[in-house]
Structure 1
């Protein structure tokens, strides 16, 4: 399945997934389990909702440019990587609205090479030239680090 669409990183792309709609869906599906929405910073390419489920905090991440969603365990907010988790119950709730990405998909190693100015990504992708340059600069290791990032 193609995940690395052109614009997924937020480089040379306008937001196409609406934050207000994401909040409404979270509240309608999870109600009082919603603890907080982390406000959208200019450096991150995703929306984030923290919920309490079965006694633990879970972060729900939604890419701002494509309707891809993922779940992470509690983390430090200033840490730039995510401990992705599979949550089958949450997946069932959200799959009618978004494409839920699995831990397997998100932790797939990102493989690319650079020869001069040419950057070649081995993983299936449609990344634009600006995004390819950002890969070299930020050095993400996985698909998940590309889809959910803090690149400026």
Structure 2
């Protein structure tokens, strides 16, 4: 069962330690490796900026363009339509392309569309804090993707 770790929402209580951070350089390296594997190019990479809790990139391949999200705290990768890379719209997640394996080879967890669209009840949420649950309920998040890749403030 997939586990959502403490801080994956980007929130924590005043007495909780800050969650980890994924250096945008690590994500950049993964994007370039993935683009090379796809025979494509990296069009853009943007570091997470508050309130968005994820880095973004767009990779162009001979077949199409793919938006890539990287959680700012944990090495979690999701694919979206290229136009949705900056601000995620509900249900914009896409299936991972074959070249997503380049991210896994660099230590990232590539989250498939099925997992991202799953209800929170389908994953292990035991590590989430009370502060995170307040945000989840306040923002009415119901899926893994909405919880992990958010722009809540």
Q: Indicate whether the TM-score tops 0.5.
A: yes
The whole-number CA distance in structure 1 between the counterparts of 2:60 and 2:97 is 15
Correspondence list, 1:94-133, <5 A: 94-97=103-106, 98-111=108-121, 123-125=123-125, 126-133=127-134
Correspondence list, 1:1-152, <5 A: 1-12=1-12, 13-30=18-35, 33-76=41-84, 77-97=86-106, 98-111=108-121, 123-125=123-125, 126-152=127-153
Q: CA deviation at 1:73?
A: 1.4
Secondary structure of 2:66's counterpart equals strand
The whole-number CA distance in structure 1 between the counterparts of 2:143 and 2:128 is 15
Q: CA deviation at 1:90?
A: 2.4
- Structure 1 runs (4+) greater than 4 angstroms displaced: none
- Unmatched tracts of structure 1, length 5 or more: 112-121
Q: CA deviation at 1:64?
A: 1.1
The whole-number CA distance in structure 2 between the counterparts of 1:91 and 1:100 is 7
The structure whose residues are more often strand, as a share, is: 1
Q: CA deviation at 1:34?
A: 0.3
Distance 1:91 1:39, change over 3 A: closer
For 1:59-110, what per-residue CA distance to the aligned partner results, in whole angstroms no more than 9, with x for missing partners?
1111111111111112344454351111231222211121111111110023
Task: Tell me the TM-score normalized by structure 2.
Answer: 0.81
- Unmatched tracts of structure 2, length 5 or more: 13-17
Task: Tell me the TM-score normalized by structure 1.
Answer: 0.82
Distance 1:37 1:11, change over 3 A: same
